Structure 1
Amino acid sequence: MQRLYRKRIVLGVGGGIAAYKSAELVRRLRDQGAEVRVVMTQGGREFITPLTLQALSGHPVHMDLLDPAAEAAMGHIELAKWADLILIAPATADLMARLAQGIANDLLTTVVLATDAPVALAPAMNQAMWRDEATQANSQLLIARGLHMFGPASGSQACGDVGLGRMLEADDLAQLAADCFKRESLTGRHVLITAGPTQENIDPVRYITNHSSGKMGFALAEAAVEAGAKVTLVTGPVHLPTPDRVNRIDVVSARDMLAACEAAMPCDLLIAAAAVADYRPEVVAQHKLKKDPSTGDGMLLQMVRNPDILATLAQREDRPFSVGFAAETEKLLDYAARKLKDKNLDLIVANDVANPTIGFNSEENAITIIDRDLQQNSLAQTSKGKIARQLIAFIAERLNNQA
């Protein structure tokens, strides 16, 4: 179940006796590498304490919709954006009814309405309540809207009845949660990704660089691994942990990055997400440059062009499927389309870095993908992790249909 590795799961705990199983479910999800945040309804707190789930999840439990402290940290909108999957276990008949009607009168139902992540329900109730026409109608309506229904199972119940209505066991729910994440689209493919900035030395102390954090490239590397690819990540200087199962190569300058990419070839797919310096100082001083009174208040640096990494790799005889990024502050789509043609790319991803909410160092992104026919596909603003998974899925479809 490596598909759960580093996935962000919001576990909703409703007010049913099966809430005692939620504790074991948190453990199972975390055992598979998922990060879990728990949201409890008022009824859920009557069956299991928030302290128990806080200890097991490693995070404070979220409970109240109008909690000023929560809204200042991770409120309902942030939780909705944060989640890769929302799993409600147990999902009571009341919870299902409110979700079916779009009612958002507590934190959990509000998070569900506000998210674009998949939502799964693990029903848990008396067998008569599950068989009731209203509950069955609500179940079918929720499934028709795209929600996943995990169970229920059949067996003895806390009230003494026997029949359908038992919540599935923690192991089964963890497996079903993993099944929500597909990872077959790049199986057997070698993906080469560049990330972060480059640094071009002026002297032993100073250098020229840019504001790239590398977050988008690293998120793409993680998403490509999830899709089954062998991933080589060539990155400039960044302060990010290496994603699991990724071969990371650290470089400094644009020429270093090109050499590392060429050494990593051949590959099936190239995604050039790095912000590479276009120019470098022609001469790097051997010692720290000092102020020169003869030049007044200025300093003149003679700059020369750096090699164009993306264009160079996209022109090779063993050319991979090539995807570039266009980080622009104006005329975004025009400049991106020109770059697509000039560099002989298959796709280009346009990113408006003038927008501070999706620019360099931000946690979110919003992009427009342009293909060779200048057809545009936009991905709405959300976390870079989600954008990366959506983008990898889009690229994989184009790559696999190329033949």
Structure 2
Amino acid sequence: MGNGLTTTEEAPCEARVDVENARDGEDEIWEAHCVKRSFKPSYDDVCIDKEIVSKPVSECSASGQSVSHSTTGSTSTVISGEHVVLAWQIDMPDLSSQRRRSRKREGLRSTDDYEMLTDMVTVENLMQRKVFDQRRWLCISRPQYQRSCGITSLVSCWNYLFSHLGCGSHRPITQEQALTVLGFAPSFDEIRFGPFTGNVTLMRWFQRLNKHFRVFGRSYFLYKPHGNDRTIGLSSESALEKLKVGLQDKSKAFIYHCQNHYFCPVGFEDVPLAESDAYRPTLSDSEVETWILICDTSRRHPGIQCKLWKDIATDLNCQNPNFLDIRHLDRGIQRRKTKKVGGNLHCIMTFQRSNLEETKQLDDETSSMTLTSREENDDSSLSAS
């Protein structure tokens, strides 16, 4: 057969090449013969090193050398008397099983351990952390006139406190009706409210509306850390606690004065800092961050916005010329073009239905019940006679 390459199949003799010639660099002759006779050598027929030779299986077995068979079974390769494992001869199922075993982790918790976290939670627990009275939203007068956010927010608060849409018994009022009571005349969209609408102005208008509709209420600053009428000695944490308590009180409504705008806080959500505390029954103030739900009377902004309390506190604690626009937090803390230094008009105001109004409602209900009982007694006496 020759001194060189040997295969188990009978290939044309022209395709057989002397190994010594291949070692001397006559690779081109080898490739030419292969192309000419369409003989494609297998990987086992390629000499990698001078120490590597290809022999028939019978000679390897006689000499005691180990033999590695190719996938086709056509050739066998002996490399320095050692068994060579080719890539396609590896048993893949063995590797996959090892990989699956390596993925197994020891000490995994069972689902029973996580179910214990929700054993004690109730609807009442979650309602303490997620407070939202839909009637506050229903009473929002939206949309507003251009720059009428102050009076429109005041009308929204008044309707929640005194109308049957909210927690009262009166007929709801519109912003046009309120403006007429306050002495404004149409056309209302041409009125420039900005120059004369302020915090104290809204409180004064609230009293005028109450007097006109014969109801009782009061207003005050819940949190105003700087400027005139500031709430001295009230920290941000204490103000947040008062706001959260007030949002659960049916006799209180709120207006937040931010950068060139007024709108109404209507709820809040205490979000746990830890993911595993999502359904934990009770959490301390240090374990949550509070988001405030605020209704906007402008149709150019979302009807309900959620703002972090820490951002609201940052806005209220800025002083001129610095300010933070709570509706455009992406702009960061900005600087006004003003010579005034110190102070801040931004604040949160409380509008409260007075206990006198509740007493009046109870008196009306008692008197109506008394009249009804008297009529029933008169009817019974007439029937008896």
* TM-score normalized by the length of structure 2: 0.20
The structure whose Rg is larger is 2
**Larger relative contact order (Cα-Cα within 8 Å, sequence gap ≥ 6):** 2
More helix by share: 2
More strand by share: 1
* TM-score normalized by the length of structure 1: 0.20
